[in-house]
Amino acid sequence: MCGIIGYVGDADETLSVLLDGLSNLEYRGYDSAGIAVGGDGLRVEKRAGELDALQTALDGETGDAIDGPVGVAHTRWSTHGPPTDENAHPHTDETGRVAVVHNGIIENYRELRDELEAEGVAFTSETDTEVVPHLVARELRAGRAPEAAVRTATERLAGSYALAVVVAGTDALFAVRHDSPLVLGVGEGESFVASDVPAFLERTRDVIYLDDDEFVRLDATGWTVTDADGDVVDKDVRTVEWEAEQTGKSGYDHYMLKEIHEQPVSLRQCISGRVDELDGRVTVEELDDLGSPETVQFVACGTSYHAALYGAQLLRAAGVSANAYYAHEYATAPAPLSGDDLVVGITQSGETADTLSALREASGRGAETLALTNVVGSTAARESDHVLYIRAGPEIGVAATKTFSSQLVGLNLLTAYLTDGGTERRLVDELRGVASDVQAVLDESTAADVVETFVDADAFFFLGRGFDYPVALEGALKFKEITYEHAEGFAAGELKHGPLALVTADTPVFAVVTGEGEAARKTIGNVKEVEARDAPVVVVTDGVADAGRYADYVLDVPTTDERLAPLLANVQLQLVAYHMAARLGRSIDKPRNLAKSVTVE
């Protein structure tokens, strides 16, 4: 969840590169930030709060300029200890010779801390990370060279970690990863290491994705990657396909609004080359070697879990046994596997710790695995047997928008491939038109006007059945994430089994009603139930079941295949959440307590 940026290059640029990198990583969520610049000596500055607080502290520095050929910086999201100056990264040893930034959790830190304190080491923070610089310093005192000291210290760690380390008097940076992402950036006369590509994308698009337990040394001569035994590893350099400009706001007030409006483009990218309108086929070359599984298990968290629920419904409707599981539950209590089973991990970043653990559990038990992800070269993509990229492009806003829509389309492609060879003409036609349908919703939505009526509401309910149910859950999640108001999503039929007790005239109910089948008719019945309790009702509908006649407000979507209609309804609910959050003055792109990539379990 935290952000790491490390740099080796021009001493005059180190500080600005680090600060720019931190700024580019703000979207990941954080509550403190800090830097360490090394060379002959080591200068460290860190502050609780946002980057402005760190910049103010740096502006107030007197004496020598903070420069040097090597440096690391970090944005922290608190786990061990609250956000304070002392708990912010980088952490140092007692002499200030070693500085460390860390993502992940050191699970045996208590044991290590007790050991170090028994030797007389004094700790200054509450974090698990601080054991690392003290371990490195102990190895340096024992006469080990800096690289060997970092390696030996790392061998003592249990848990998940991405570490970047600088040592005073050494113009090199050392980094290692284990169950936490780390990527190397290769520039002209400079090198980078970071938790995510946007940290250095303005300076290079050439990257190397590090695998677990790989160790990298960056210095003036370039970079070297070695394995746990110290043997050099030959790594491929990849070129990131998107430009730095794509991570800007492009004139929108917020990244989230920009990304909502990018959905027509991202959906076309997802479908491109995979839908042949002339032949009426879905073709997914990446899955050509995928067999015909007896059952499919989806594992995911958060927004991706809602996509998993949708994907499981798609497959069941097509006659394939399928279920969705929270990845964090699956990893500790996995579902039974038998026969030719496929486990699909859905993760936007490809680095979600819970989902990676679930996929590893499934793989260890003999299941075939597939990653549905947005990030090329991510850990999930590399470790799974198969990968289906959703091609949504960079998403900076913490609240997922365009990636969710692309996940839904990707799941339709997967279902078509697994069930009928992708030869269903109607689905092919509707997939080709889904981007235009989303554009119509964006052009015609009245969501901004609707939310004005409910600014002072007590709580918000979201209802749906069948394919509309996961979208109702996602609508509630988006709403609570960025408005900070209480919102709950329900299977529409569950309303009368308890939640109806909470419905009042101050409880707006958003009901998703698409198609004209039994699910739509029964959801209309639930709308009548809340209407009888004087609750205001907003119906998101394609109009097929005439649900609008029972609503106080209607948010329209175009008519399409019943499997794709929820995707269009979701766009309306994204706009509902966005406009309410804007109306309330919330921090939309960086909602409190949340992070973009959840890389700890």
Domain-located, residue 599: no
* Range from 139-143, 265-269, 411-415 carrying the lowest mean pLDDT: 265-269
Task: Write the CA distances from 345 to 146, 304, 420, integer angstroms.
Answer: 39, 9, 22
Domain-located, residue 581: yes
Say how far apart CA 484 and CA 594 lie, in whole Å. Answer: 11
What pLDDT is stored for residue 601 in this prediction?
53
Domain-located, residue 400: yes
Task: Write the CA distances from 240 to 43, 234, 376, integer angstroms.
Answer: 32, 19, 8
The catalytic position among 2, 258, 270, 480 is: 2
Torsion sign, CA atoms 396, 400, 402, 406: positive
Number of domains in the chain: 3
Active site residue 2: yes
* Token pair recorded at residue 76: 């922290």
Q: What are the two backbone dihedrals, phi and then psi, of residue 56, each rounded to the nearest 5 degrees?
A: -60, -40
pLDDT category, 471, cuts 50, 70, 90?
very high
Smallest Cα–Cα separation from 200: which of 18, 404, 441, 457? 18
Q: Are residues 387 and 252 in the same domain?
A: yes
Say how far apart CA 484 and CA 399 lie, in whole Å. Answer: 13
Say how far apart CA 216 and CA 505 lie, in whole Å. Answer: 60
Q: Are residues 34 and 111 in the same domain?
A: yes
- What residues pair up with 32 in beta bridges, in sequence order? 48, 76
Active site residue 596: yes
pLDDT category, 81, cuts 50, 70, 90?
confident
Q: How many CB atoms lie within 10 A of CB 493?
A: 15
Position 78 pLDDT exceeds 80: no
pLDDT category, 468, cuts 50, 70, 90?
very high
Q: How many CB atoms lie within 10 A of CB 60?
A: 8
What pLDDT is stored for residue 521 in this prediction?
83
* Range from 78-82, 227-231, 506-510 carrying the lowest mean pLDDT: 78-82
Q: What is the mean pLDDT of residues 74-94?
A: 87
Q: Are residues 81 and 44 in the same domain?
A: yes
Say how far apart CA 562 and CA 133 lie, in whole Å. Answer: 56
What digits encode the pLDDT tens for the residues 171-200?
999 999 987 889 999 999 999 999 888 899
**How many angstroms separate the first and last alpha carbons of the chain?**
11
Say how far apart CA 551 and CA 541 lie, in whole Å. Answer: 11
Position 495 pLDDT exceeds 90: no
Q: Are residues 410 and 378 in the same domain?
A: yes
> Which region, left, alpha or beta, applies to residue 3 given φ > 0 means left and ψ of -120 to 50 means alpha?
beta
Q: Are residues 127 and 17 in the same domain?
A: yes
Rg (CA), the chain: 25
Say how far apart CA 48 and CA 84 lie, in whole Å. Answer: 5
Question: Last residue of some domain: 443, 473, 494?
Answer: 443
pLDDT category, 376, cuts 50, 70, 90?
confident
- DSSP character string of 350-388: S--HHHHHHHHHHHHTT-EEEEEESSTT-HHHHHSSEEE
pLDDT category, 1, cuts 50, 70, 90?
low
What pLDDT is stored for residue 244 in this prediction?
54
Q: Are residues 425 and 458 in the same domain?
A: no
Domain-located, residue 594: no
Domain-located, residue 600: no
- DSSP character string of 381-449: HHHSSEEEE-------SSS--HHHHHHHHHHHHHHHHHHHTT--HHHHHHHHHHHHHHHHHHHH--HHH
Question: Last residue of some domain: 443, 472, 490?
Answer: 443
What pLDDT is stored for residue 525 in this prediction?
80
**CATH code (residue 133):** 3.60.20.10
What pLDDT is stored for residue 242 in this prediction?
63
Position 384 pLDDT exceeds 90: yes
Mean pLDDT of the chain: 89
Say how far apart CA 53 and CA 41 lie, in whole Å. Answer: 24
What digits encode the pLDDT tens for the residues 273-316?
888 767 777 888 888 888 889 899 999 999 999 999 999 999 99
How much of the chain, in percent, has pLDDT values that exceed 70? 94
Helix (H, G, I), strand (E, B) or coil at 249: coil
Helix (H, G, I), strand (E, B) or coil at 276: strand
What pLDDT is stored for residue 424 in this prediction?
67
- On the question of a cis peptide bond just before residue 336, with omega within 30 degrees of 0, the verdict is no
pLDDT category, 337, cuts 50, 70, 90?
confident
Question: Last residue of some domain: 206, 224, 245?
Answer: 245
Q: Are residues 196 and 292 in the same domain?
A: no
pLDDT category, 227, cuts 50, 70, 90?
very high
Q: Are residues 455 and 415 in the same domain?
A: no
Q: Are residues 499 and 439 in the same domain?
A: no
What pLDDT is stored for residue 598 in this prediction?
60
Task: Write the CA distances from 472 to 41, 118, 466, 479, 525, integer angstroms.
Answer: 55, 54, 10, 11, 16
Domain-located, residue 597: no
Q: Are residues 504 and 411 in the same domain?
A: no
Q: The domain containing residue 436 runs over which residues?
A: 248-443
Q: Are residues 239 and 257 in the same domain?
A: no
**CATH code (residue 357):** 3.40.50.10490
Say how far apart CA 167 and CA 147 lie, in whole Å. Answer: 9
Q: What is the mean pLDDT of residues 11-39?
A: 88
The catalytic position among 402, 478, 590, 596 is: 596
Domain-located, residue 601: no
Name 217's Cβ contacts closer than 8 Å, sequence gap at least 6. 147, 172, 173, 174, 223, 224, 226
Residue located via tokens 């050929």? 69
pLDDT category, 338, cuts 50, 70, 90?
confident
pLDDT category, 460, cuts 50, 70, 90?
very high
Q: Are residues 67 and 187 in the same domain?
A: yes
CA 338 to chain centroid: 31
- What residues pair up with 177 in beta bridges, in sequence order? 162
Position 268 pLDDT exceeds 80: yes
Domain-located, residue 320: yes
What pLDDT is stored for residue 135 in this prediction?
97
Provide the H-helix boundaries in 216-319. Answer: 255-261, 263-271, 302-317
What digits encode the pLDDT tens for the residues 155-166?
999 888 899 999
Helix (H, G, I), strand (E, B) or coil at 38: strand
